[in-house]
Amino acid sequence: MRTIEGLTVIVDLDTNQGVEVSDIGRHIPIPKDTNTDYRFSAQNNTHTKTNPINPIFMEQPKGPSFTVKNDHLIKWVNWEFHIKHDPRAGMIISRAMFEDPDSGEFRSVMYKGMVSEIFVPYMDPTEAWYYKTYLDAGDYGLDLWTRALDPVNDCPRNAYYMDGVLVTSDGTPFIQSNVICVFERYANDIAWRHTESSVVGEEVREVRPKVTLVARMITSIGNYDYILDWIFQNDGLIRIEVGLSGIAVVKGTTYKNMEEVPEEEDLYGTLVSENSIGVIHDHYIAFYLDMDVDSPNNSFVKVDIRKQETSPGESPRRSYLKTTRNVAKTEKDAQIKLNMYQPSEYHVINPSKKTRVGNPVGYRLVPGSNAASLLDSEDPPQRRAAFTNNQIWVTPYNQSEVWAGGLFVWQSHGDDTLATWSNRDRSIENKDIVLWYVLGFHHIPCQEDFPIMPTVTSGFDLKPVNFFNRNPILGIPPHFENDLPVCQATGHA
Ligand SMILES: [Cu+2]
């Protein structure tokens, strides 16, 4: 948070020679350290009054409901999947299978899912800033920047921890302990419910609690922290969430107050404290999702939702919604930019397998809040990160197409990205396909982000769509008072 602004040294790494020193920020003071210490021990001044929350945690009187085999194979309710960690991708979930409650058969959902690349372009084109356009996974490696999780605050007490085995740059192996945690979460949410009160005296009320299983890793890449969660539900849904926290990069400035800034001057961000500008930037997280819905051969279906007008005299209604299923034949059919006024559902289906009533079994990609890159497609960072040109892509499985920004991103020019592969327009129908989802955030810093930002979260779901013959969790029991620990609330008004 105390930046030495405008001092740039260009080094030729091939010759190990300094090429140029530029010092254009000599007139910019180094910001004071006032209010930059975010440690709890530093928050004892009398200016803040934050009312505390009493200690809170979840009880599991009979222990967790998941088991871990061979350190990596997780079994929880009807789910079974494998977790490993990877120096570049962080956490990798593979062989995710669901035991069908009707048939008892273990059915494949996803062969492999992981973060493929992260792109963080800063939006300041001036000399000391234009190059700050990071490709975090390829440049740094998500697991190489992961440290042990805080056993009480990063994950709950009922969490199971996994170590990571990494190598140093000279090939020496070392163990990074407690880098992934797995835990059950109960936040008093509801899995399904209904009250039937139309018949007097015969009220039916059925409610089922929602408990989820979370696999979490957190990487702290320099200034930023990415909280990466894979959340499994017993109804077959997988939610993938990314939380952003940590320290927003600031730029030094002579300004201490917005009143001093000429109206026409572009700050490239927000004055977040005296002499500190939080520079505007984006975050994009590209997910690699090798779906295997009931077998490797799947198809991608865009279910378009459109307004249909009725004919005159046909109905009192003028319009209604109609869906049209379009099976993507080749890669370009599956290059998708999200649009609220031309909406679609995005299904990965198994065309060879149908439900009892004849629908193809599938899983649906459900986007959450998202952001698209607005950079010029020929801007060098955008060419290198051309995987952000669309939010959804589908490619045929190819073992060399794993890293959305290319295998070697250092000094890349964008000739080995997901966009290059996808533009080959290969056939993707009834093939082993990889679904890609690009999750984005525009980050216009605000004063609350200083000196450390409250977590911002977004994500997406992989949701069964006609995968089961009916609601797969009709059979789960409700909670009963007798099953729960005996404790009394001691709250006072
Ligand atoms: Cu940010």
Burial bucket for residue 356 (CB in 10 Å: 0-12, 13-18, 19+): exposed
224 is catalytic: yes
pLDDT band for position 487 (50/70/90)? low
HEC per residue, the chain: CCCCCCEEEEEECCCCEEEEEEECCCCCCCCCCCCCCCCHHHCCCCCCCCCCCCCCCCCCCCCCCEEEECCCEEEECCEEEEEEEECCCEEEEEEEEEECCCCCCEEEEEEEEEEEEEEEEECCCCCCCCCCEEEHHHHCCCHHHCCCCCCCCCCCCCCEEEEEEEECCCCCEEEEEEEEEEEEEEEEEEEEEEEECCCCCCCEEEEEEEEEEEEEEEEEECCEEEEEEEEEECCCCEEEEEEEEECCCEEECCCCCHHHCCCCCCCCEEEEECCEEEECEEEEEEEEEEECCCCCEEEEEEEEEEEEECCCCCCCCCEEEEEEEEECCEHHHHCECCCCCCCEEEEEEEEEEECCCCCEEEEEEEECCCCCCCCCCCCHHHHHCHHHCCCEEEEECCCCCCCCCCCCCCCCCCCCCHHHHHCCCCECCCEEEEEEEEEEEEECCCHHHCCCEEEEEEEEEEEEECCCCCCCCCCCCCCCHHHCCCCCCCCCC
Show the CA angle centred on residue 71, arms to residues 67 and 75, nearest 5°: 25
First to last CA, the chain: 42
Is the link from the previous residue into 451 a cis peptide, with omega within 30 of 0?
yes
What domains sit in the chain, N to C, each tagged with a CATH number? 7-39+66-479 (2.70.98.20)
User: Mean per-residue pLDDT for 207-220?
Assistant: 96
Q: Closest Cα partner for 230 from 405, 109, 411, 407?
A: 109
- Ligand 1 centre to CA of 457 (Å) is 11
What average pLDDT does range 14-28 have in this prediction? 94
Q: How far is the CA of 165 from the centre of ligand 1 (A)?
A: 29
The rounded mean pLDDT for the chain is: 94
Structure tokens at 240: 């993938």
Q: What is the pLDDT of residues 305-334, one digit of tens each?
A: 999 999 999 999 999 999 999 999 999 999
Tell me the per-residue pLDDT of 35-67, one tens digit each, with 9 for 90 and over. 888 998 888 765 667 888 898 888 888 889 999
Band of the pLDDT at 203, cuts 50, 70, 90?
Answer: confident
| Number of C-beta neighbours around residue 473 at 10 A | 18
C-alpha pair distances (Å), 75 with each of 7, 72, 81, 165, 443: 53, 10, 7, 22, 37
**Catalytic one of 140, 224, 226, 346:** 224
d(C-alpha 138, C-alpha 418), whole Å: 14
User: Rg (Cα) of the chain, in Å, rounded?
Assistant: 26
pLDDT band at residue 489 using 50, 70 and 90 as cut-offs: low
Residues 268, 269, 273, 275: what is their CA dihedral angle, to the nearest 10 degrees? 0
**Residue 49, pLDDT score:** 75
- Ligand 1 centre to CA of 282 (Å) is 6
- The stretch 142-151 carries a mean pLDDT of 90
Identify which of 28, 8, 27 has the alpha carbon closest to the alpha carbon of residue 277.
Answer: 28
CA 373 / ligand 1 centre spacing (Å): 14
For residues 127 and 24, the answer to whether their CB atoms sit within 8 Å is yes
Contacts of 91 (CB under 8 A, 6+ apart): 83, 84, 85, 114, 115, 180, 215, 217, 228, 230
pLDDT value of residue 58: 83
Question: In the predicted model, what is the mean pLDDT of residues 459-471?
Answer: 98
Q: Measured in angstroms, how far is the CA atom of residue 224 from the centroid of ligand 1?
A: 8
118 CA → ligand 1 middle, Å: 12
In whole angstroms, what separates CA 142 from the centre of its chain?
13
Least reliable range by pLDDT among 34-43, 170-179, 235-244: 34-43
Ligand 1 centroid – CA 492 distance (Å): 40
d(CA 281, ligand 1 centre) in Å: 6
CA of 443 to the centre of ligand 1 (A): 5
Mean pLDDT of 390-403: 98
Write out the residues surrounding ion ligand 1, Cβ under 5 A: 443
Give the integer Cα–Cα distance in Å for 383 and 418: 11
Average pLDDT over residues 399-406: 98
Whether pLDDT at 157 is above 60: yes
Average pLDDT over residues 276-286: 97
- Looking at the predicted structure, is the pLDDT value of residue 493 above 60? no
> Which residues lie across from 456 on neighbouring strands?
244
In tens, the pLDDT along 361-385 reads: 999 999 999 999 999 999 999 999 9
Q: Is 23 a catalytic residue?
A: no
Q: Which of 111, 124, 136, 363 is catalytic?
A: 136
How many angstroms is it from 390 CA to the middle of ligand 1?
A: 20
Check pLDDT > 70 for residue 123: yes
Confidence of residue 490 (pLDDT cuts 50, 70, 90): low
- The long-range contacts involving 206-210, CB below 8 angstroms and separated by at least 24 positions, are 206/478, 207/478, 208/473, 208/476, 208/477, 208/478, 209/478, 209/479, 210/186
More confident residue, 293 or 483: 293
* pLDDT at residue 413, rounded to an integer: 95
Mean pLDDT for 79-106 is: 96
**What percent of the chain shows pLDDT beyond 70?**
98
Task: Give 5 or 481, the one with higher predicted confidence.
Answer: 5
When comparing pLDDT for 217 and 42, which is higher? 217
DSSP lists the bridge partners of residue 195 as 205
Q: For residues 488 and 350, what is the distance between their CA atoms, to the nearest angstrom?
A: 51
Cα 460 to ligand 1 centre (Å):
19
Whether residue 211 is predicted with pLDDT greater than 90 in this model: the reply is yes
Token digits for 242?
Answer: 């990314």
Tokens of 350: 């198994």
For residue 123, the CA-to-ligand 1 centroid distance in Å is 11
Asked if residue 224 has pLDDT above 60, the reply is yes
Give residue 90 CA to ligand 1 midpoint distance, Å: 19
| Per-residue model confidence (pLDDT) at position 274 | 96
Question: How many angstroms separate the CA atoms of 290 and 89, rounded?
Answer: 14
CA of 279 to the centre of ligand 1 (A): 9
Confidence of residue 183 (pLDDT cuts 50, 70, 90): very high
Residue 486 has pLDDT above 90, yes or no: no
Ligand 1 mean position to 39 CA, how many Å?
20
pLDDT tier at 11, thresholds 50, 70, 90: very high
Ligand 1 centroid to residue 243 C-alpha, Å: 10
Q: CB-based burial of residue 182 (10 Å sphere; 0-12 exposed, 13-18 middle, 19+ buried)?
A: buried
